[in-house]
Structure 1
Amino acid sequence: MTSSSYHLKDNPSGFPYKFFQTHIKDGFPDVIYHWHPELEIIFVEKGSARFHINYEIFNSQPGDLIFIQPTSMHSIHPIDQEEHISQTFKIHLDNLGRSTIEQFSQRYLQPLHNGHFELLSRIQPHMEGYQEIKNLVQAIFKLCHDQPLYYDILLKAKLHELLYLLYSKRYVVRHYTDDVYRKYEKLKDLIAYLNQHYMEPLTIDFLADYFGYSRAHFMTIFKQHTGSSCLDFLLQLRLSKACEALVQTDQSIAQITESIGFKNQANFNRQFKQRYQMTPLQYRKQFTDKD
C-alpha cells in the first residue's frame, strides 16, 4: 500500500512542492504509465522495482538516484513480491525560474522542461559525482521534512545547486532526436486518449487504426514503451478509476462498474479482487470507514 506523508506549504513565498515516501509491498501499488509537468527526484532506500522512463527500462537498486524530467512518460512496477521503499520530491520548474523570460531560464530550465535536453534517468554509487549529488538530495529532503524557519530560501538555493551539479557532471547533455521526440509525442497522445475514453468499449483494432498503426506494430510499440499490453494498461486504468470512485463518491458498485467501462459485474469483482486482494466493498470500507 502506498504510504505518503506530504509536506505541502502554501507559504508566502509561493514555493510549492511535494515530498513523500512510497512503499511498494505485496505487489502494490503498480504505477501505470503517465507523465506530469514537475521534475521528480527519487532516492531508493530499500528493495527494487521496475522503472520505465521514456525508452529506458531498469530495475532499481538501493542507493539509486532516479530523475524524471518534466513531461517524461514513466511507470513503476513491482517485481514479484519484492518490497520497495523510496523518497520522492517533486517540483515544477516554474518555481525555479522557468517562467521568467531571461537568459538563465532559456539556457538551462526551458530545454529541461520541454525535452530538448535529456536528463539522465539514474545515477548510481559508482558514477562520477554520486556522493556529492546524493548528499545534496538528502539535504533537500531533510529541509522538506524539518521545515525550519526560512527553509524555503535555502531549499530553492539547494535545488539550483543540484541543477548545477547535474549539468557540470554531464548528466544533462544529450538531445532527443526529432524522430524520438515525435514517437513520444504520439505515445503521449495515445495515453491521453485512453485516459479520456477508458469508459468506452475500446478495442486494439480501433486504437491501432485511430493512431495510424497496424495491429501488430501497435501492440509491439505499446508493450515496448509502457511495460504492459494495451489491454492490461486499460484494465489497470479502469480499476484505478474504480478505486477513486469508491473512496471519493457514494456511487453503488453497479454504478461504478458501468461508469468505468465494465459490462459485467462479476468480471469487475473478479478483476478487482485479483489486483487488490480484496472486494470493492472491502476497499471502500478500508479507506473510508463506510459500512
Structure 2
Amino acid sequence: MNRTSIPAPEQKEHARHGEQLFPLQKYITTLDDLHPSVSAHWHEEAEFTRILSGSGTYQIQLQHYDVAAGDLLFIPPALLHAITVTPREKLCTETYVFHMHFLGASTADICSVQYLTPLATAKLIPPFFFDARHPLHDALDDLFNDMDALHDDAAQGYELLLKADFLRLIALLLPCCNAADEDTRLHMEYTAKLKTVLEYIDAHYAEELSIADLASLCYFSEYHFMRFFKRFMGTSCLNYIKNLRLEKAAELLGQDGLPPLDASLSAGFHNLSYFYREFRKKYGVTPGDFRGAGAREK
C-alpha cells in the first residue's frame, strides 16, 4: 500500500484517497511558479493540512486565507477549496485526507449523531484556519506530529492509534464549531451553484464554452453570473477557463509527452499562436521547452 502520495495538483480531486478498509491517505504537495495552483475542487473526504514551507492562499468555500509555514488547516467534507502559491515562492504542504466513515460517521451512536454527521453535512461549521495566534494551534500541531510519527512508523496497530488521533482532532474542534445559520446556508447555496459550474467546465473544457450556457446552469443572467463568478472565485470565468486549459495542456506536455499542437487542441485551444503566448506568460517557457523538461525528469 502506498501510504504517502505526491499527486499532480490538478488531479488530486480525482484521486482515490486510501483504501476501502483504511480510507486515509497522506499527501505531500509542492506548488511553485511552474505549478502555481490547485484548482477549485471538492471531495467526500475531510483534510487536515500543515504548511511545511513557503506561502500562498487557500480558498475554502467563499473565504480566503493567507498561509505560511507552521499554519494548519482543517477542511470538512464536500467543501469547495483551492490553493495558490505566492509568486516566486515554493509552497510545500503535508495533508491527511480521510473519510469520516473511518471515524464511525456511518454508525448509529451518539458520536455519529451529535458530532460526526453534523460536521460532515455542514450543520456544524468548524474554524478552517489555525495560525500561531489561534488558541488551538499548539494542540493541533502536537496532534499532527503524533499522526506523522504513527503513520511513518506503521507499527502493528497504528491504524487504531491514528483513528484515535483523528477522533481527538474532531473533539478539539467541537468547542469552536458554530451551528449553520442563514448566512452559512446562503453560502452553501452559492457554493452549490459554483460546484455545478466548475463540474461542467471540468467535463467540457476541451469544447466551446459560452458564458450564456454557464449562466443558465445557475439560472442567472450573463451579467449577474459574471459578477457572481468573479466575486467568489477571485478571477473572471473566462480567465478561469483559460488557466484550466493551460494546466491540462501542461499535464499533457509534461506527463504524457504530447506534441504542443496535440496538447493545445486536446486542452481546448484552437489558435496555436494564442496558446503559445498564454502558455509562456503562465509558465515562463514555451510548450516545447516544457515538454522537454518533462521528458528529462522521467
What TM-score results when the alignment is normalised by the length of structure 2? 0.85
Superposed CA deviations along residues 15-47 of structure 1, whole A, max 9, x for unmatched, are 132213233333632122111221111112333
Give the equivalent residue in structure 1 for 2:27.
Answer: 20
Preserved CA contact (<8 Å) 1:75 1:226:
no
Contact kept in structure 2, 1:42 and 1:89, CA below 8 Å: yes
Q: 1:180 aligns with which of 174, 177, 187?
A: 187
1:48 paired to 2:55: yes
Alignment of 1:158-177 (within 5 A): 158-167=165-174, 170-177=175-182
Matched with 2:123 is 116
Deviation at 1:188, TM superposition (A): 1.0
Give the C-alpha shift of residue 230 in structure 1. 0.8
Alignment match, 1:143: 150
Identity %: 30
Question: Which letter maps to 1:220?
Answer: R
Cα distance in structure 2, aligned partners of 1:280 and 1:89:
33
CA shift in 2, pair 1:159/1:253, >3 Å: same
Q: Cα 1:203–1:191, aligned 2, differ >3 Å: closer, same or farther? A: same
**Cα distance, 1:186 vs structure 2:** 1.2
**Offset from partner CA, 1:153-173 (integer Å, 9 cap, x none):** 211111111111111xx2322
Deviations 1:217-262 (A, max 9, x none): 2122212212221111111211222233335546543233222211
Aligned partner (choices 207, 228, 244) of residue 251 of structure 2: 244
1:145–1:275 distance in 2 versus 1, CA, 3 Å: farther
RMSD: 2.7
**Partner of residue 13, structure 2:** none
2:268 counterpart of 1:261? yes
Three-state SS of the structure 1 residue aligned to 2:162 is helix
1:176, distance to aligned residue in structure 2 (A): 4.7
Q: Is the counterpart of residue 58 in structure 1 residue 65 in structure 2?
A: yes
Residue deviations 1:74-100 (CA, integer Å, cap 9, x gap):
111122323333221111112222233
For the residue of structure 2 that corresponds to 1:50, the secondary structure is strand
One-letter amino acid matched to 2:294: F
Counterparts of 1:148 and 1:245, CA distance in 2: 39
Please, what TM-score do these two structures have when normalized by structure 1? Answer: 0.86
User: What is the match of residue 294 of structure 2?
Assistant: 287
In structure 1, the partner of 2:9 is: none
Contact kept? 2:38, 2:84, Cα under 8 Å: yes
Q: Count residues with an aligned counterpart.
A: 285
